[in-house]
Amino acid sequence: MGKRHFGWTLALGAGVGALLASGTAAWAGDREQAQATVDTRAAVEQPKIIAWRRDIHEHPELGNQETRTAALVAKHLKSLGLEVRTGVAKTGVVAVLKGGKPGPVVALRADMDALPVTEQVDLPFASKVKTQYEGHEVGVMHACGHDTHVAMLMGVAEVLAGMKDQLPGTVKFIFQPAEEGLAKGEVGGAEQMLKEGAFENPKPDAVFGVHVISTLHAGDVGYRPGPFMAAADEFVITVHGRQSHGALPWTGVDPIVTASQIVLGLQTIESRQMEVIKEPSILSVGSIHGGNRNNIIPDTVTLNGTIRTFDEGMRADIDKRLRRTVAGIAESAGATADVDIIKGYPVTINNPELTAKIVPTLQRVAGKDHVKLIDKVTPSEDFSFYEQQVPGVYLFVGITPPDADLSKAASNHSPKFFVDESGLIVGARTLAHLTVDYLYGL
């Protein structure tokens, strides 16, 4: 209540002009009051966020298996009085918080899955979990920090639920499984969440998300408008030659020499054919398999690699050039080749207008010196699927201790990945303030 109520009461007696003027001024007062409420409530939330994060960190679950995490999330959201849907894309949880006044819909997303990594950080709540992964026993660790994403968003839900009368609009909380990808044949993650209606009833007008990152200090927030994270596609090339004696190469077709030429030929796509000043792109061959002894030229060689791009047109173009290069080189040797390109996540593109509009919010939350315009990064992210549906911004939140050398910090996915938990309150406040500012109008 407060200022807005007072303003409208006054205005009603003073005619339409005064009503509009008073209404606008009072609206601004409401916004400031809501922002102040976020900070007061977030401060109370901080120890809870850290406690949830430690609990989830100690009990990590691989993609599509996040049942314990999802149950914790759902129980919490229900206790806040939200409408909660569970079992979306297997373990996903979607909850809706209706504010006290009409307005737009903002979606906030956290991913819940851990990685098959054996933790090497000395913490009382370090993961000791082991599981089976692709036929091997592996450790399980929140080595990408998704435990912090879940905890921050649980905190944000509590902050906003407790001030819903002050919210002019609706907030959708999306806790999704399996961001890190799945074994062949399994479906999941953001794409599956969307297929199962995560963005329906109501459809969001905007989506925000954060990822903790070792390349920024705790307290810092990183943003980038436009293409931000790469599309990641995998390729498998099988070169078919004709097996022969190693001493008699003219009696066969050598797929090892042909595959070697293909490796080099593929690099000329990047170095000679792509317009490097437009967007960067990367093509790496990560494995070559063929043959089993010194004096046999084998029948086939398999190449496996990855392509990273920041533009959907260039992505499609490299796909064509790769196929053409492989076919041409194979033909020149009298060999044949099969090419299989397995599409990964699209380019993560932050809506440029929306990104520009939220920078003042980021600066207010983190402090001007702590908001960094950062470079593109070559990993990929399935948040990209949400940003294909509605304008969105994906941000990085620092978690490396402020006095530590960033260049030496263990990266995300490392068994030594370490989170300075003081960064989490900045991430949670960022999401809560973005929501409030978006609902009041950026």
Q: Report in angstroms how near the CB of residue 144 gets to Zn ion at its nearest.
A: 3
Q: How far is the CB of 158 from Zn ion (least distance, A)?
A: 23
**Is-catalytic flag, 421?**
yes
Check the annotation: does 57 bind a ligand: no
Residue nearest to Zn ion (CB): 144
Nearer to Zn ion, 143 or 439 (CB): 143
Q: Identify the active-site residue in 66, 223, 345, 381.
A: 345
146 belongs to an annotated ligand binding site = yes
**Cα 190 to Cα 345: distance, rounded to the nearest angstrom:** 10
Q: Where do runs of H (alpha helix) occur along 230-346?
A: 255-268, 312-333
Q: Which residues, at least 6 apart from 184, have a Cβ–Cβ distance to it below 8 Å?
A: none
Residues 209, 95: Cα–Cα separation, whole Å:
15
CA angle 113, 116, 120 (to 5 degrees): 105
Q: Which residues bind Zn ion (CB under 5 A)?
A: 144
DSSP secondary structure letter of residue 184: T
Kindly state the smallest distance separating residue 149's Cβ from Zn ion, in Å: 8
CA atoms of 202 and 28, how far apart (whole Å): 26
**For helices 15-58 and 146-161, angle between their N-to-C axes, nearest 10 degrees:** 140
Q: 98 or 413, CB closer to Zn ion?
A: 413
* Catalytic entry in 196, 234, 312, 421: 421
Of 166 and 348, which CB lies nearer to Zn ion in the complex structure? Answer: 348
The least CB distance from residue 211 to Zn ion, in Å, is 6
* Closest to 183 in 3D by CA, of 361, 336, 64: 64
User: What are φ and ψ of residue 430, in 5° steps?
Assistant: -60, -50
Closer CB to Zn ion, 188 or 255, in the complex = 188
Which long-range CB contacts under 8 A does 45-51 form with residues at least 24 apart?
A: 45/155, 45/158, 45/159, 45/425, 45/428, 46/155, 46/424, 46/425, 46/428, 48/154, 48/155, 48/158, 49/151, 49/152, 49/154, 49/155, 49/424, 49/425, 49/428, 50/151, 50/421, 50/424
φ and ψ at residue 171, rounded to 5 degrees: -120, 130
144 a known binding residue?
yes
Q: How far is the CB of 199 from Zn ion (least distance, A)?
A: 20
Shortest gap between Cβ of 145 and Zn ion (angstroms)?
7
Cα–Cα dist 130/312, whole Å: 38
Q: How far, in Å, CA of 317 to CA of 99, rounded? A: 46
Nearer to Zn ion, 288 or 419 (CB): 419
- For residue 190, give the nearest of 279, 75, 111 by alpha carbon: 111
Q: Note whether 230 and 408 are within 8 A (CB).
A: no
CA angle (72 as vertex; 68, 77 as ends), nearest 5: 145
Which residue number, 144 or 178, has a Cβ lying nearer to Zn ion? 144
Closer Cβ to Zn ion, 417 or 440, answer by number: 417
* Minimum separation from the CB atom of position 60 to Zn ion (A): 12
Q: For residues 252 and 297, is the Cβ–Cβ distance under 8 A?
A: yes
Using the minimum distance from each CB to Zn ion, give the nearer residue, 144 or 395.
144
Answer yes or no: is 211 a known binding residue. Answer: yes
- Does residue 331 contact residue 261 with C-beta atoms inside 8 Å? no
Q: DSSP per residue over 260-298, as a string?
A: HHHHHHHHHIIIIIS-TTT--EEEEEEEEEE-SSTTEE-
Question: Any idea which residues carry the catalytic annotation?
Answer: 345, 421
Binding residues for Mn(2+): 144, 146, 180, 211, 413
